[in-house]
Amino acid sequence: MAVTFSDLHTEGGLKSLDEFLSGKTFISGDEITKDDVKVFAAVLGKPGDAFPNAGKWYEAVESKLAKSFPGKAVGVRFGGEAAPAEAAPAAEAKAPVGDDDDDLDLFGDETEEEKKAAEERETAKKDTKKSKESGKSSVLMDVKPWDDETDMKKLEEAVRSVEMPGLLWGASKLVPVGYGIKKLQIMITIVDDLVSVDELIEDYLTAEPCNEHVQSVDIVAFNKI
């Protein structure tokens, strides 16, 4: 059963998360699950000293993601001089499961109940010939500038200027990456049938006019809502 927390941008929400994590390394115990990834994406940054349990959990999840998907959560990088790589859908991205603690399956295998539910939905769609409401996903992205002289305010303005049906820009923050350079970490919510994240990055965020400020974009987390 999925675990959810509301208002994680407020002290009340973080306090609730901190109390829930008392005595735990991850949300479901000693192993990271997709619940950890989803909540991690909703938290704007490492919780402060007032939330010690949540702070330790945040560091543990960040470390696991960095080891499993170094540089990017789904193995995708666009823009700059790097050649675009064809990426598998994020919902299918998996790391092999084994004895190594670093092995990680973020999304897990589809259960029989989930398969049956999917088949029933497809059958109902064919029988009634009615359009099914599209699902939504939340995506956390790292937007990186060309250098330390890039105006990050203008970079964010350029990013948020991209508009299309089914795309909603959310919370953002600047994260230091070293040598005086900061990256923009920003959350988006998309309607799956209307917005392709790959096309958003390739055709808009790393294309003119955004590429005047944006050097590359990495997908950090991708979760169905």
Domains and CATH numbers, the chain: 11-68 (1.20.1050.10), 136-224 (3.30.70.60)
DSSP SS3 for 138 = strand
Q: For 60, what's the count of Cα atoms within 13 Å in the CB-facing half-sphere? A: 19
| Least confident interval from 116-120, 179-183, 217-221 | 116-120
How much is the pLDDT for 2?
54
- For the record, the structure tokens of 150 come out as 């890039």
3-state helix, strand, coil in the chain (%, to 5): 35, 20, 45
On the question of pLDDT at 88 being above 60, the answer is no
Band of residue 198 on the pLDDT scale cut at 50, 70, 90: very high
Residue 142 CB coordination number (10 Å): 18
Integer Cα distance of 214 and 205 in angstroms:
7
Band of residue 184 on the pLDDT scale cut at 50, 70, 90: very high
Band of residue 126 on the pLDDT scale cut at 50, 70, 90: low
pTM of the model: 0.43
Integer Cα distance of 188 and 204 in angstroms:
14
Cα maximum dimension of the chain: 59
User: Which is higher by pLDDT, 68 or 172?
Assistant: 172
Of 139, 154, 222, 152, residue with least CA distance to 181 = 152
On the question of pLDDT at 73 being above 60, the answer is no
Integer Cα distance of 200 and 191 in angstroms:
13
Length, in residues, of the chain: 225
Q: For residues 164-184, give the mean pLDDT.
A: 93
Integer Cα distance of 23 and 41 in angstroms:
22
Compute the mean pLDDT over every residue in the chain, rounded to the nearest whole number.
79
Band of residue 87 on the pLDDT scale cut at 50, 70, 90: very low
Integer Cα distance of 131 and 30 in angstroms:
42
- For the record, the structure tokens of 168 come out as 């909603």
For residues 35 and 28, the answer to whether their CB atoms sit within 8 Å is yes
Band of residue 93 on the pLDDT scale cut at 50, 70, 90: very low
The per-residue DSSP string of 184-223 comes to EEEEEEEETTT--HHHHIIIIITSTTGGGTEEEEEEEEEE
Give the H or E element holding residue 181: strand 181-191
How much is the pLDDT for 109?
56
